[in-house]
Amino acid sequence: MKQEISRVDPPAKQGPVEAEERILIRGGKKLKGTVRVSGAKNSVLKIMAAALLVKGVSVLKNVPNLTDVHMMAEVLRHLGAVVTISEGEVEIDATNVQDFEAPYELVSQLRASFNVLGPLLARFHQAKVSLPGGCAIGERRIDLHEKGLKQLGAEMHIDHGYVYASCKKLVGTRIYLEKPSNGATENIMLAAVLAEGTTIIENAAQEPEITNLADFVNAVGGKISGAGTYTITIDGVKPEDLHGATVETIPDRCEAGTFIYACMATGGEITIEGANPHHLYSVINKAQEMGAEISILAPGTIKVKADGKMKPIDITTVPYPGFPTDLQAPIMSVVACSEGTSIITETIYENRFMQVAELRRMGADIALTGNAAVVKGVPKLMGAEVKASDLRAAAALIVAGLAADGVTEITGLHHLDRGYEKLEDKFRALGADIWRR
C-alpha cells in the first residue's frame, strides 16, 4: 500500500506563486559574515531517482528543502515508493515499487524526473516516461539518452508524448556519447547497473554530481568506477545484490558560486562554509582573474574578499570542469557593474540569456550577438522591477539587485525556490537589505 509521509513541509512558496509575491532588495550594502551552503539540488534529484533500483531503504543526508525535491518525491510516490522527507534528509523505500510509468503532469514540472527512465528500465525491463516538454533555456534533447539505452539492448519509441522503453534484458557494451550530457550519462549509467556484463561510457559527463550518484550506487551494492572522469565503467550486478544504504549529498557548487559572485558585485568580505573548493576551480579562477581575493581557509571553507571594482573578463561556458552554464547568469550581473567590456559566450544552451533583458532594465549595457553577450560595465546598476525567467536568472537578478542603487523588485520566484534554499535569508544574514513579501 502506498504511504505518503512528509515530515517537512515544502518551502511555503511551492508551485506557481501569487502574482504579487516578490523579493525586494535595497542594494548597495557590502556583504559581510559567514554563510553555509546547502546540499546540491542536481545531486539529490538524481540519487532519488536511482533509489528506484533498490529493494530497500535509501537514505540521503544533507538534502536542501527545495520545491524540486518535493516534486521528485511526488514522482517516486506515484511509482509506489514510500518517501519521507525530514529536516535535511530524505528516506526512500522503493521495495514495493510496481509501477513503471511517470506521467506528464509530474515530469513536465521537473525535467530531472526524466532520470527515472534508466532505473525503471533496469529494474522492470520496461518504462513509460513522459517527454519533459518545453524549457525556458533551450531545446534540451534526449537523443543521447535514447541512443545509449538502445545500445544496451532497449527498444524505444516515442508515442503521444511518451518515451516507451522495454527489453528482454540489458547487456553491457561500450557507448560513446557525442556530447558529455549529464542526463544521458546518468540514465545510461543507472540502466547499466543491472545489465549483464560490463558497460563503458566514453565521453561521459564529469560533473561532481555524477560522482556523487556513482558513490550512491556503489554504496547500495552496484559496481561503478571512473565516475568523474571521461570514462565510466559499470559492471552489472544482480537485483538481489542491491540493498539500502545511507549517503551524503555533496555541497551545491552553484549556490557557493552565487555567494562568491554576489560578494564581488557588492564588495565585502564573506566566509562560505560547507562548500567543496575542488568543485569550484573554474569559478574561483574567474573570480581571481577579476580581482577578488579568494582563500581556502580549511576543507570546505572559502573566504572571499572584494572591493567592488572588478576587472572585465571573457568567459565561455563548457562542461565540467570548465566554467558552468549554471553560473553564467550570476557572473553576468557582476561584469555588468565592473570596469571595461566583458564577453560571455554560452555554448551549452541555445537560449540562456533570458536575464539580459531584465538586466538592461536595471541599466546594464549588454549587446547580444549569436551565443555571445558583450557586456560593457556601467558604474552602477539601478534598482528596477524585474522578472526571473528561470532558476539561474533569478539568482542573477538577486546578485544585480544587491549591487544596484535603490530598490529592486523581483518576481517569478517559483523558479528561485526550485533550486536555492532560503536564499534571501542567507543574504540577509550577510547584511543585505533583502526581504520577501
Q: Is 138 in the site for ligand EPU (CB under 6 A)?
A: yes
Distances in whole angstroms, Cα of residue 406 to Cα of each of 53, 379, 380: 51, 14, 10
Q: Is 42 in the site for ligand EPU (CB under 6 A)?
A: yes
- Neighbour-count burial of 152, counting CB atoms closer than 10 A to its CB (0-12 exposed, 13-18 middle, 19+ buried): buried
Q: What is the DSSP string of 346-383?
A: --S-TT--THHHHHHHTT-EEEEETTEEEEE--S--B-
Distances in whole angstroms, Cα of residue 282 to Cα of each of 46, 79, 285, 325, 378: 24, 39, 5, 11, 25
Measured in residues, the chain has a length of: 437
Give me the phi and psi of 420, to 5 degrees please: -125, 130
Give me the phi and psi of 167, to 5 degrees please: -165, 160
Catalytic residue among 135, 167, 254, 263: 135
Cα angle for residues 275, 278, 279 (degrees, 5° grid): 70
User: Sheet holding 433-436: strands in order across?
Assistant: 385-387, 407-411, 23-26, 433-436
Interface with ligand EPU in residues 354-393 (CB under 6 A): 391-392
Residues forming beta bridges with residue 167, ordered by sequence position? none
* Contact residue for ligand EPU among 143, 202, 307, 425 (CB under 6 A): 143
* Contact residue for ligand EPU among 7, 141, 157, 380 (CB under 6 A): 141
Q: Is 125 in the site for ligand EPU (CB under 6 A)?
A: no
> How many chain residues touch ligand EPU (CB under 6 A)?
24
Interface with ligand EPU in residues 73-112 (CB under 6 A): 112
Site stretch for ligand EPU (CB under 6 A), options 97-105, 139-147, 264-272, 397-405: 139-147
* Minimal distance, residue 430 CB to ligand EPU, in Å: 22
Site stretch for ligand EPU (CB under 6 A), options 86-94, 136-144, 227-235, 358-366: 136-144
Site stretch for ligand EPU (CB under 6 A), options 135-143, 216-224, 228-236, 371-379: 135-143
Q: Which is nearer to ligand EPU, 138 or 161 (CB)?
A: 138
Q: Which is nearer to ligand EPU, 283 or 384 (CB)?
A: 283
Give Cα 50 distance to the centre of its chain. Answer: 16
Q: Is 184 in the site for ligand EPU (CB under 6 A)?
A: yes
* Minimal distance, residue 76 CB to ligand EPU, in Å: 15
Nearest to 35 by CA among 254, 266, 259: 259
Q: Which is nearer to ligand EPU, 27 or 148 (CB)?
A: 148
3-state secondary structure of 157: strand
Helix (H) or strand (E) holding 57: strand 57-61
- E strands, 171-264, are 174-176, 198-202, 223-225, 231-235, 245-248
Interface with ligand EPU in residues 151-180 (CB under 6 A): 179
Q: Is 142 in the site for ligand EPU (CB under 6 A)?
A: yes
**135 included as an active-site residue:** yes
Site stretch for ligand EPU (CB under 6 A), options 84-92, 134-142, 363-371, 427-435: 134-142
Site stretch for ligand EPU (CB under 6 A), options 56-64, 132-140, 267-275, 359-367: 132-140
Per-residue x/- mask for ligand EPU, residues 189 to 228, rule CB under 6 A? ----------------x-----------------------
Q: Is 323 in the site for ligand EPU (CB under 6 A)?
A: no
Q: What is the DSSP string of 291-329?
A: T-EEEEEETTEEEEEE-S-PPP-EEEB-STTSB-GGGHH
* Minimal distance, residue 187 CB to ligand EPU, in Å: 9
Q: Is 427 in the site for ligand EPU (CB under 6 A)?
A: no
Q: Is 144 in the site for ligand EPU (CB under 6 A)?
A: yes
Cβ atoms of 362 and 384 within 8 Å: the answer is yes
Interface with ligand EPU in residues 401-420 (CB under 6 A): 419
Q: Which is nearer to ligand EPU, 186 or 424 (CB)?
A: 186
- Neighbour-count burial of 347, counting CB atoms closer than 10 A to its CB (0-12 exposed, 13-18 middle, 19+ buried): middle
Give me the phi and psi of 130, to 5 degrees please: -60, 145
Q: Is 181 in the site for ligand EPU (CB under 6 A)?
A: yes
Q: Count of H helices and E strands in the chain?
A: 14, 24
Per-residue x/- mask for ligand EPU, residues 282 to 311, rule CB under 6 A? ------------------------------
* Minimal distance, residue 317 CB to ligand EPU, in Å: 9
Using DSSP bridges, classify how beta strands 126-130 and 314-316 pair: parallel, antiparallel or unpaired.
unpaired
Q: Is 183 in the site for ligand EPU (CB under 6 A)?
A: yes
Active-site positions? 135
Residues of this chain that bind ligand EPU (CB under 6 A): 42, 45, 112, 138-145, 179, 181-184, 205, 325-326, 348-349, 391-392, 419
